[in-house]
Amino acid sequence: MFFQPLFWTYLFFLFLIFIFLTNRISFHPPRGWGEVFWTFSWCSSFLLVQTGLSVIYLKNWDFAWSGLSFLPFSSLIFLSSIALWIAWMVVDHGVWKLIRLQPVQVKKIKTVKLRTNPKFVPPFGCLKKVGITNQIYLPQVVEYELKLEGWPKEWSGLTIVQVSDLHYGKFFPTAYYDGIIRQIKQLKPDLFAFTGDLINSKKDALAMKGLLKGFKAPLGVYAVLGNHDHGAGAEALTKALTQESIRVLDNEVVYRKRKGKTLAIMGASELWYGNRDRSIILNSKADAKLFLAHHPDHYFLGKKSGAHLQISGHTHGGQIRFPFLGPLIVPSNQGRKYAQGFYREKNTVLFVTNGIGCYPPLRTLCAPEIVKLVLKPA
Ligand SMILES: [Fe+2]
């Protein structure tokens, strides 16, 4: 059995289905321990059922093609359902990739490594022995020029710096944050955008008050909250950010004017815990629309509201990425589709950043990043 290619194909397919379902199903969280329990019970029940069925079924077959036709009817049904599932996943992904996704006109301008204190040593150092670098302390500023369909020329050259998923206070020393935030403040964009998951516990909300002091940009500094911010205390964090003149957008829109053309800066309330009244965003009228949303799963709202660009975080770019395979676990109802980078459906471009912090403290092939976007008309 172990020498039959079909056996390994079978295991691989089961693994794919497991990853697919984990990404789509286990990330509909009730709060707190309920979320942990739901994820754990879902994963273990899937593994138990699959193991049970596989053991029963292995008794009848050694995975040689010749033995396939002698299998009992029930085993054939089980195998066919796995094959159908895989076929459906391939078709679904194919339709998305070939039909729904449009090309994005984007060019990477430069990547600048931020300075960090070498005394910060990442955990999981033993992975170095197998050639894997834990990148958690290797933050970089990545600058892109992005051309958007329908973007007014009056707003050409608008620069945005996106800072996402700080996860302050969880795994990183505060001195690490102090050092990189100091450098981020000096990037001088037209607009700063924090796209959620700034903190992990209520006490960290107070720390934000000092840490984010002095962020300034001509068009303003904006934030939307993430799921961890809500778990920690949305009210305390909103208060702290507001005191530092950072405008928290909770299904709200701020308008700015340049040469008679209006820019709408729209911010989504958190997808799982926030408010569901999206009428202000959906009814906004502007020549240029920028949409801040913690979750890439808010793309439906970005498209529906006619945003030219949605910027999101939350997935950490997949965080632990493998060569060729990409990331396995991505907390999105869309599976691994919108894990990292640029996407375009209809005329709305979605950008998903790797963010800065992480959870657990391991990043592979997915460096922490701060992103500077220069927007131009296509
Ligand atoms: Fe998140």
Task: Report the separation in Å between the CA atom of 241 and the middle of ligand 1, taken as the mean of its atom positions.
Answer: 18
- 270 and 348 fall within a common domain: yes
Which of 100, 131, 149 is the last residue before a domain boundary?
Answer: 100
Q: Is residue 126 predicted with pLDDT exceeding 60?
A: yes
Task: Report the separation in Å between the CA atom of 124 and the middle of ligand 1, taken as the mean of its atom positions.
Answer: 23
Least confident span in 75-89, 147-161, 340-354: 75-89
User: How far from chain centre, in Å, is Cα 156?
Assistant: 27
Task: Report the separation in Å between the CA atom of 230 and the middle of ligand 1, taken as the mean of its atom positions.
Answer: 10
Task: Report the separation in Å between the CA atom of 67 and the middle of ligand 1, taken as the mean of its atom positions.
Answer: 48
What is the average pLDDT across 294-317?
A: 97
- 138 and 81 fall within a common domain: no
Q: Label residue 357 by pLDDT band (50, 70, 90).
A: very high
- 80 and 142 fall within a common domain: no
How many C-beta atoms surround the C-beta of residue 74 within 10 A? 12
Task: Report the separation in Å between the CA atom of 155 and the middle of ligand 1, taken as the mean of its atom positions.
Answer: 30
- 136 and 19 fall within a common domain: no
- 212 and 247 fall within a common domain: yes
Q: How many structural domains compose the chain?
A: 2
User: What was the pLDDT predicted at 35?
Assistant: 62
- 143 and 187 fall within a common domain: yes
Q: Is residue 27 predicted with pLDDT exceeding 70?
A: no
Task: Report the CATH number that the domain containing residue 234 is assigned in CATH.
Answer: 3.60.21.10
What is the average pLDDT across 235-259?
A: 97
- 72 and 140 fall within a common domain: no
Which of 78, 100, 122 is the last residue before a domain boundary?
Answer: 100
- 95 and 111 fall within a common domain: no
Contacts of 143 (CB under 8 A, 6+ apart): 108, 109, 110, 111, 112, 371, 372, 373, 374
What is the average pLDDT across 154-163?
A: 98
- 88 and 125 fall within a common domain: no
- 44 and 152 fall within a common domain: no
Task: Report the separation in Å between the CA atom of 82 and the middle of ligand 1, taken as the mean of its atom positions.
Answer: 32
- Domain of 296 in residue numbering reads as 105-377
- 74 and 112 fall within a common domain: no
Task: Report the separation in Å between the CA atom of 166 and the middle of ligand 1, taken as the mean of its atom positions.
Answer: 10
- 350 and 325 fall within a common domain: yes
Which of 74, 100, 126 is the last residue before a domain boundary?
Answer: 100
370 or 359, which is more confident: 370
Strand ranges in 150-270 using DSSP code E only, listed in sequence order: 158-163, 191-195, 221-224, 247-248, 252-258, 261-267
pTM exceeds 0.85 for this model: yes
Q: Is residue 38 predicted with pLDDT exceeding 80?
A: no
Distance CA 277, CA 275 (A): 6
The CA-CA-CA angle for residues 258, 260, 261, to 5°, reads: 70
User: What was the pLDDT predicted at 48?
Assistant: 85
